[in-house]
Amino acid sequence: MRAASALAAVGILGVAAAWPADRADAFCSVFSRHPCNPTHCSVFQRRPCIPEIEYPLGQDLRLTIESAAAAGVAAAHAAKDMQSDHKLDTLNAMFDALRACWIPPPRDEARAGMQMSVRFSFKRSGEIIGTPRVTYTSPDTPSETKDLYHRAVTEALERCTPMPFSSGLGGAVAGRPIAIRFVDNRAMQ
C-alpha cells in the first residue's frame, strides 16, 4: 500500500514538474501559486477554455442627439427609410436612424438648452423592451416643459421602432442598455 501511494506521489510530482508554470496558456486554478486568468469550463475538459472577463462599468451604448433647425425634414426621410427593405447593420447606422427620428418641440414652446436623457433596450426584432425610462432632465424645468419634451422623445422612439436590424446587429444590441441624451440647442445655432 505504501509503495503504491509513494509511486502515485512520484507520478503526480513528475507531471506537476513537467507542466510549465510560466506559460500564458498554463492551467489556472484556485490552487495555483502564480497569477492567472480564472476561467469557467467543464470538469470534463483538460484545459481552460474562456477567461472570465469583468467588463468595466459604463460599457452601454450612449448617444447624444442635438436638435437641428430642419428636424421635420430629417424625420420624414427617416420614416421613409425605416419602411424600406434596407437593414441596419452597424451601430453608426442605428444611431443615425435614431438621430433622424428626433423632432424637437416647436420653438415657441421649447426651452433653450433643455436636456432630457432616456434609457431603454431593444429586442432582436428591433422593438423596445418595456417603457423607456427618463434618467435626467435639466434642473429647474417646469413640469409642463418636461411633459412636452417627454412626449417628443416618446414620439421619436415610436417613429423609429421597430428598427430594421440585420440579424447580426439585432443579436449584438438585444438587451444592452442604450442611453440617449436629447439636447435642444436650436437657440444657440
Among candidate residues 53, 110, 105, 89, the one with its CA nearest the CA of residue 168: 89
**Most confidently modeled of 34-38, 70-74, 169-173, 184-188?**
169-173
If one compares 34 and 98, the residue with the highest pLDDT of the two is 98
Q: How confident is the model at residue 42 (pLDDT cuts 50, 70, 90)?
A: low
In this predicted structure, the answer to whether residue 109 has a pLDDT above a threshold of 60 is yes
Q: In which residue are the cell numbers 418595456 written? A: 130
pLDDT at residue 147, as a whole number: 94
pTM for the predicted model, two decimal places = 0.62
- Note the maximum CA span of the chain: 94
Instruction: Find how far residue 133's CA is from the centre of its chain.
Output: 15
pLDDT at residue 10, as a whole number: 47
With a CB cutoff of 8 Å and minimum separation 6, the contacts of 189 are 69
Mean pLDDT along residues 48-56: 52
Other beta carbons within 10 Å of 100: 24
pLDDT averaged over the chain?
75
Percent of the chain with pLDDT over 70: 57
Q: In whole angstroms, what is the distance from residue 58 CA to residue 6 CA?
A: 54
If one compares 162 and 58, the residue with the highest pLDDT of the two is 162
Q: Any idea where the domains of the chain sit in the sequence?
A: 2-51, 61-188
Mean pLDDT along residues 90-97: 90
Among candidate residues 105, 127, 131, 107, the one with its CA nearest the CA of residue 118: 131
Other beta carbons within 10 Å of 35: 6
In this predicted structure, the answer to whether residue 6 has a pLDDT above a threshold of 60 is no
pLDDT at residue 61, as a whole number: 83
If one compares 32 and 155, the residue with the highest pLDDT of the two is 155
